[in-house]
Amino acid sequence: MAIKLITYGHKKKPKSLGLGVFDGIHKGHQAILSQCDALLTFNPHPVTILHNTITLDRLTTVEEMTHYIPQLFVLEFNKMIANLSAQDFLNKIILEKINPSHIVIGYDYHFGKNKEGTPELFKQWCNSHNVPITIVEPISNTDQIIKSKAIRTHLKEGDVNQALNDLGHPYLMIGTVIKGDSRGKELGFPTANLKFPTEKLIPKKGVYKGNITIENKPYKTMIYIGNRPTFNTKTTTVEAFILDFKGNLYDQTICLYIEQYLRPEKTFPNKEALISQINQDTQNAYGP
Amino acid sequence: MAFEGILTVNKPAAITSYDVIRTIKKIIGKDKIGHAGTLDPFATGILIIAIGRKFTKQLASYQAMPKTYRFTIQLGTETSTLDPDGEIISESPISTPYTIQSIENTLNTFKGETKQTPPAFSAKKIQGQRAYKLARKGKEVKLEPTTITIHEINLLNYDPKTQQIECRINCEKGTYVRSLSRDIALQLNTVGYTKTLVREAVGNHTLDTALTIDQLENHLTKN
Question: Which pLDDT value is given to residue A230?
Answer: 46
Q: B166 and chain A: CB distance < 8 Å anywhere? A: yes
Q: B206 and chain A: CB distance < 8 Å anywhere? A: no
* Residues from chain B contacting residue A62 (CB–CB below 8 Å): 100-101
If you classify domain B5-64+203-221 with CATH, what class do you get?
A: alpha beta
Could A9 and B99 be called an inter-chain contact, meaning their C-beta atoms sit closer than 8 Å? Answer: no
Q: Give the angle subtended at the CA of B70 by the CAs of B45 and B181, to the nearest 5°.
A: 115
Q: What are the tens digits of pLDDT across the range A109-158?
A: 999 999 999 999 999 999 999 999 999 988 877 777 888 999 999 999 99
Q: How far is A5 from chain B (nearest CA, A)?
A: 7
Question: Which pLDDT value is given to residue A237?
Answer: 87
Question: Which pLDDT value is given to residue B1?
Answer: 60
Q: Delimit the domains of chain B by residue range.
A: 5-64+203-221, 67-201
Question: Which pLDDT value is given to residue B223?
Answer: 58
Do B5-64+203-221 and B67-201 show the same overall fold?
Answer: yes
Average pLDDT over residues A29-50: 92
Average pLDDT over residues A52-66: 88
User: Is residue A278's pLDDT more than 90?
Assistant: no
Do A5-145 and A170-286 show the same overall fold?
Answer: no
User: Is residue A98's pLDDT more than 90?
Assistant: yes
Interface size, chain A vs chain B, as Cβ–Cβ contacts under 8 Å: 39
Question: Which pLDDT value is given to residue B51?
Answer: 93
DSSP, residue by residue, chain A: ----EEEES--SPPSSEEES--TT--HHHHHHHTT-SEEEEEES-HHHHHSTT----BSS-HHHHTTT-S-EEEEEP-HHHHTS-HHHIIIIIIIIII--S-EEEETT--BSGGG-B-HHHHHHHHHHTT--EEEEPP-EETTEE--HHHHHHHHHHS-HHHHHHHHTS-EEEEEEEE---SHHHHHT---EEEE--TTBPPPPSEEEEEEEEETTEEEEEEEEEE--TTS-SSS-EEEEEETT--S--TT-EEEEEEEEEEE-----SSHHHHHHHHHHHHHHHH--
Q: Of residues A10 and A141, which shows the higher confidence score?
A: A10
Question: Which pLDDT value is given to residue A13?
Answer: 94
DSSP, residue by residue, A157-206: HS-HHHHHHHHTS-EEEEEEEE---SHHHHHT---EEEE--TTBPPPPSE
Q: What are the tens digits of pLDDT across the range A210-251?
A: 999 887 889 999 999 987 654 445 678 899 999 888 888 888
Mutation target to probe the B interface, by most B beta carbons within 10 A, among A7, A12, A65, A67 is A7
* Residues from chain B contacting residue A214 (CB–CB below 8 Å): none
The CATH architecture that domain B67-201 belongs to is: 2-Layer Sandwich (3.30)
Neighbours of B193 (CB within 10 A): 25
Mean of the per-residue pLDDT values of chain A: 89
In terms of CA atoms, which chain A residue is nearest residue B157? Answer: A7
Q: Delimit the domains of chain A by residue range.
A: 5-145, 170-286
Q: Using CB atoms, which residue from A6, A63, A253 is nearest to B157?
A: A6
Q: Which CATH superfamily does the domain covering A5-145 fall into? A: HUPs (3.40.50.620)
Could A5 and B159 be called an inter-chain contact, meaning their C-beta atoms sit closer than 8 Å? Answer: no
Reported confidence tier of residue A4, pLDDT bands at 50, 70, 90: very high
Question: Which pLDDT value is given to residue A48?
Answer: 87
Q: Is B85 a catalytic residue?
A: no
Q: Of residues A116 and A284, which shows the higher confidence score?
A: A116
The domain A170-286 is classified under which CATH number: 3.40.1160.10, 3.40.50.880, 2.40.30.30, 2.60.60.20?
2.40.30.30
Question: Which pLDDT value is given to residue A228?
Answer: 60
Mutation target to probe the B interface, by most B beta carbons within 10 A, among A5, A10, A13 is A10
User: Is residue A165's pLDDT more than 80?
Assistant: yes
Of B19, B31, B40, B159, catalytic: B40
Average pLDDT over residues A179-195: 76
Could B159 and A11 be called an inter-chain contact, meaning their C-beta atoms sit closer than 8 Å? Answer: yes
ipTM: 0.82
Q: Which residues numbered 89-108 in B keep a CB inside 8 Å of some CB on A?
A: 95-96, 99-101
Question: Which pLDDT value is given to residue A184?
Answer: 67
Question: Which pLDDT value is given to residue A217?
Answer: 87
Share of chain A above pLDDT 90, in %: 62
* Residues from chain B contacting residue A11 (CB–CB below 8 Å): 157, 159, 166
Average pLDDT over residues A78-107: 95
Question: Which pLDDT value is given to residue B159?
Answer: 95
Please check whether residue A170 is in contact with residue A257, taking contact to mean a CB–CB distance below 8 angstroms.
yes
Q: A5 and chain B: CB distance < 8 Å anywhere? A: yes
Question: Which pLDDT value is given to residue A233?
Answer: 52
Q: What is the pTM of this model?
A: 0.87
User: Is residue A79's pLDDT more than 80?
Assistant: yes
Could A9 and B154 be called an inter-chain contact, meaning their C-beta atoms sit closer than 8 Å? Answer: no
Cis peptide leading into A44, omega within 30 of 0? yes
Q: Using CB atoms, which residue from B95, B96, B155 is nearest to A6?
A: B155
Question: Which pLDDT value is given to residue B29?
Answer: 85
Give the residue among B174, B152, B171, B167 at the shortest CA–CA distance from B197: B167
Q: B196 and chain A: CB distance < 8 Å anywhere? A: no
Of A63, A239, A259, A265, catalytic: A239
Average pLDDT over residues A88-109: 95
Per-residue pLDDT of chain B (223 residues; tens, 9 = 90+): 678 899 999 999 999 999 999 999 998 887 899 999 999 999 999 999 999 999 999 999 999 999 999 999 999 999 999 999 999 999 988 877 798 989 999 999 999 999 999 988 877 777 777 787 888 888 878 888 999 999 999 999 999 999 999 999 999 999 999 999 999 999 999 999 999 999 999 999 999 999 999 998 888 887 5
